[in-house]
Structure 1
Amino acid sequence: MKNLNRLLLISTLASALSLTACSKKEHSHEDGEHEHPSHEEGHQEHGHGHGGGISVTHYTTEAELFVEYPPLILNTESAFAAHLTWLKDFSAVNQGQLLVSLTGGGHPEERVVATVSQTAGIFRPVMKPQYIGKRRLQLILTDGTQQSVHDLGEVEVYPDAKTATEHQAVAEEESGLIAFTKEQQWKIDFATAPAVTRAMRDSVSAIGVIKPRAAGQAIVTAISTGIIKSATNDFPHLGQKVLAGQTLAYLSPRLGGDADLAALSLAIEQASITLDQASYERKRLESLLTLEAVAEKRVIEARQQERLAQANLTAARKRLATYQGGEGGIALKTPISGTVVAVNTTAGASVEAGQSLLQIADLDKVWLEAKIPESELSRIQTLTGGFFSLNSLSQAIALEIGKNARLVAYGGLVDANTRTVPAILEFSNPQQQLRLGMTVNTQLYTGVAQNLVAVPASALSDENGQSVLFVLKEGESFERRVVKASIRDGDWVGISQGLIAGERVVTRGAYQVRLAATAPAAMGHGHAH
């Protein structure tokens, strides 16, 4: 068996050494077309590592490197297939240059530079080592002002293929791994992240509703029966921004009894005549007073009658103006600044006394009212905050009391009907994205925390009641792993069993990886050769 493995390895190395004699064409299984690379590229792009080949996955803060290359042999061309991905968005590196460097071992540095091949993300430098022994291998990506240094540590440069074969261990391929190539990853919304150990805060589930603050809402009502008139050419509408004290509309009270517009006009005429008479009488008495023909008391009384007549005329005119055009009527003003969130009437509509006409709310700061089940109350030691999401797929919004939230109330009475206790948190509503009345999935922190291996919540999927992750074993190989999920804290989920810190999991694109395992044909091969 050992001899058979050795023969297979020698055969593979011979294939690697003959790369320059191979066809200088690139072939994609996905579209079946052939492309002709430039003369200076002059090497094939390979898929997954061949037996006896070396493959490495390496990360920096900027990029991921997945490289495949044959053992390094003196004076022999070794073709590298380096797949480079920007970690900021997991896109293929499509420009720049890749430097391959061999240093150390008491020999001069050897280096070779390559630009991106015809397949974005893949660089194909060819190194022809001139010195044997242990050397330090580095692959350095430079793209404008960015640089990503991938130090792969010490490697051995062998004097010949036979020696390389004798020293290379034949790696047994793990069974059950899922092949999902870099080319496939680059085409979809894909990302991975390492599992980390972090303090995970325990929480309890609650029913949450987004509500306006107590002082952050106002309802404009009709103070009497009447007709609504617009204060401007634009009647209040949903989403309109208003300021405290702003007149939004006018209410023209409805005439009662036998009153009509003619009667109001007659009242003005009568008040005007009464005022004229009072003015004439006051002037007459003032003239007699200068002749000392009347008592001063009568003049004072005449002046008072004139003022009273003037007041009656003014009131009569206002009563008539209420039912005429312009700005007549009772001004309906908003007591707070905010946004119009409800309009229950229109210009010209008849309304009844006490009817709700407009609702104004301050959406910059809102309340999360969470109703905690009675059975969960004993778990809460100290209410320190919580998090909520609009649905199971949306990103969680974390609230921490004393940082970005304020505890308004934590009820001391269990509701007799719902058997819940309310907790109210006040927080800012950026860009007013949250709408009043929304029901949200809410978790409230209990004040208890423990250190756990954790992954982003998006990495976890439920398969028939099992918590499943897809773990990156190598650049293009993944393992489906059943784990035991524990505490969820915002966008993180603790894993109590089945995963260790540092292992990298798929956080976006897990569905496509699962599809590659169950129906490879549906995903296509996608690897350039």
Structure 2
Amino acid sequence: MKWVPTWCVGSLLAVLMPTIVPACHHGQTHAHSSEGSSETQIHGHSHGHNGDGGVPREAITLNGVKTQLFVDFPRLIAGQESPFSAHLTLLDSHLAVTEGRVVVELAGGGQPPERFSVTGPSSPGIFRPVVKPQHSVLRTVTVTLQSETVSETHHMGEFPVFAGFKEALGVPKTQEDESSIVFSLENQWMVPFRVAPVAVSVIRSTTAVFGEIIRPTDAEAWVVAPRAGRVTEMVMVAPGSPVVSGAPLFTLGGTHLEGADKTAFDLALKQADIRVKAARREVDRLRPLVSQGVVPTKRMVDAQTAVEEAVADQGAARKRLDQLERSQRVDGVVDGFVVAAPMGGTVMETKLVPGAWVSAGDPLLRIVDPARLFLEVKVPEKEVPRIQNVFGVLVRLNKEHAWTEIPREALVFVGTDVDPDTRTVPVRFRFDGIDPSRVVGMVVEARLLLDAGRNVLAVPLDAVTDDAGVDVVYVQTGGESFERRAVRLGVQQGDMVEVVSGLTEGEWIVVKGAYSVRLASLSTDSTGHGHAH
């Protein structure tokens, strides 16, 4: 962006006359020459409006890649000092440049280049090099900032070096727009403020909805006790602990026989063996006697029943002994049931207590995969016809967060039934990724994208203010001057909104701090002239 004065060609013919006016020297200067050019370094020198002899001043605003230059200076006169007031602003932060060296170069017109420089600002953001041209010709003027963090050259264009005061006063000055809103750079640097060019953006039709962050059912699992037992050999499974699928979590290494006397169990089994043998011998003894009719058949039936009971007691004794042996330590390791993680993830909840007795089916541990999330938005039934082609969704966790786009490829499903209670249809997207600000159950603001988008002029929503019911944007017409511009808005997408009319591509507007400019427009004092040029 560049604002320059309009010069009258007829007047310039009289300007470039070789009239020499004696120079007026201010302060201390040092001249340096190199390859036909000269550079003057100014030390401890400051100028205000006074001392210019009534010479009209020029004000130029240039936006570079990294910095904005707003420079104010008296018209150039051969042999006379013209103190420049160069305001330099960092475009990304809109803060004042606080260090570096500024060089003003006059070149062209068939004469050697002349350079005038100053090191460091006289106050934050304001550099005051004093230019004293020697040749009454048409010169190309550049202003260069050189610093450790940023270097940039601003090309101001062509300016005449007048032969004398009479010639400088003879050229009409471009009339300023008195309706402009003045808001000084010193004030801009003190508040949150930023300007940016109006540009073409892709804006898509959207519909506002509310969404909820949920967790897929297969991204969560409860670990339950596969059998009764005592919790032993538990690894570190506190909430927040990461686990790997298949990694051991704990062991169920105890039974209801824990602490029993193994000798007694051995004795019980041996006694059961003896009773089985004795019962079988009795059956063998009675069998021929029954066949001979010596003893009644009932005696044989009772003996066989005794064998069956003895065998049952024997089996129970053996089982009790086996359970006891499995629950005891072998080579320092519990011979029990090892429970492993069914999935990888993070432990979210645990009910495990070392040494505690659990029953089969008890829920003991909850594991989730924190990286796997869904965003489910609820679309009002009146908007359902518009969501047949969903192109994605914009989501914002809260006002402090920027809008995030979830692409169409992350669409999981579009519901087909209207919820009878909420009268909405669910649309679900994958919302994967580990982000502490994404909390399951959180309700968020969302906008469904309903088309592929159009190339339109768009500005940030923060650039638009409501002025008595009219949407207004403030256009920067100079470094410290702004124009109130009514605009007609179109489709909104996230933090951007389409501008149907009122702005032109490339115009620079206030995108942060627009309300401060509005306040300046209501002020009766000279808000824009809080400093001396």
TM-score range, shorter chain: 0.7 to 0.9
Is the partner of 1:272 in helix, strand or coil?
A: helix
Partner of 1:212: 215
Which of the residues 185, 190, 193 maps onto 1:190? 193
Aligned residues, how many?
461
Instruction: Pick one of 366, 371, 388 that aligns with 1:364.
Output: 371
Q: Per-residue deviation at 1:275?
A: 5.1
The within-5 A match list for 1:200-239 is: 200-221=203-224, 231-232=234-235, 236-237=238-239, 239=240
Alignment partner, residue 315 of structure 1: 323
AA of the residue aligned to 1:398:
E
Q: 1:306 to 1:348 in 2, by over 3 A?
A: closer
How far off is 1:347 after superposition?
Answer: 7.0
Distance (whole Å) between structure 1 residues aligned to residue 399 and residue 363 of structure 2: 36
Pick the aligned partner of 1:129 from 133, 136, 155: 133
Closer, same or farther: CA 126–463 of 1 in aligned 2, 3 Å: same
Shift of 1:388: 0.8
1:81 matched residue in structure 2: 85
Amino acid at match of 1:99: V
Q: Are 1:58 and 1:65, in contact at CA under 8 Å, matched by a contact in 2? A: yes
Q: Which amino acid aligns with 1:109?
A: P
Structure 1 Cα separation of the partners of residues 215 and 494 of structure 2: 23
How many Å apart are 1:340 and its aligned residue?
3.1
Percent identity over the alignment?
33
**1:396 corresponds to 2:390:** no
SS at match of 2:370: coil
Q: CA deviation at 1:306?
A: 10
Change in 2 beyond 3 A, CA 1:225/1:372: farther
The 5 A counterparts of 1:68-107 are 68-107=72-111
Matches within 5 A, 1:152-163: 152-163=156-167
Shift of 1:197: 1.4
2:258 and 2:348 map into 1 onto residues whose CA distance is: 38
Residue equivalent to 1:474: 478
Cα deviation for residue 177 of structure 1 reads 0.7
1:91-490 equivalences under 5 Å are 91-144=95-148, 146-175=150-179, 177-179=181-183, 181-221=184-224, 231-232=234-235, 236-237=238-239, 239-248=240-249, 265=259, 270-274=264-268, 312-317=320-325, 333-342=340-349, 358-380=365-387, 382-402=389-409, 406-461=410-465, 466-490=470-494
Q: CA deviation at 1:508?
A: 3.0
TM-score, normalised via structure 2 length = 0.72
Q: Choose the corresponding residue for 2:68, options 64, 68, 78.
A: 64
Structure 1 residues 350 and 83, CA gap change in structure 2 (3 angstroms): farther
Amino acid at match of 2:101: Q
Deviation larger for 476-485 or 100-109: 476-485
CA distance in 1, matches of 2:386, 2:25: 68
* Structure 1: distance between partners of 2:145 and 2:508: 22
Deviations 1:200-232 (A, max 9, x none): 111112221112233222234567899878924
* Structure 1 Cα separation of the partners of residues 58 and 199 of structure 2: 28
- The amino acid across from 1:313 in the alignment is L
1:204 and 1:82 map into 2 onto residues whose CA distance is 47
Backbone CA RMSD of aligned residues: 4.4
Post-superposition offset of 1:387: 1.0
Report the AA paired with residue 58 of structure 2. Answer: I
**TM-score (norm. length: structure 1):** 0.73
Larger Rg: 2
Secondary structure (helix, strand or coil) at the match of 1:273 reads helix
Give distance in 2, aligned partners of 1:466 and 1:224.
72
Q: Deviations over 1:128-160 (max 9, x none)?
A: 122224221111112248431111112222222
Confirm or deny: 8 A CA contact 2:248 2:339 kept in the other structure: yes
Deviations 1:253-296 (A, max 9, x none): 9x9xxxxx6x7655855533245679999xxxxxxxxxxxxxxx
Q: Could you list the runs of 5+ residues in structure 1 that have no partner in the other structure? A: 1-16, 23-37, 256-260, 282-304
1:363·1:432 contact (CA, 8 Å) conserved in 2?
no
Shift in CA distance, 162/438, structure 1 to aligned 2, threshold 3 Å = same
Distance change >3 Å, CA 167–CA 379, structure 1 → 2: farther
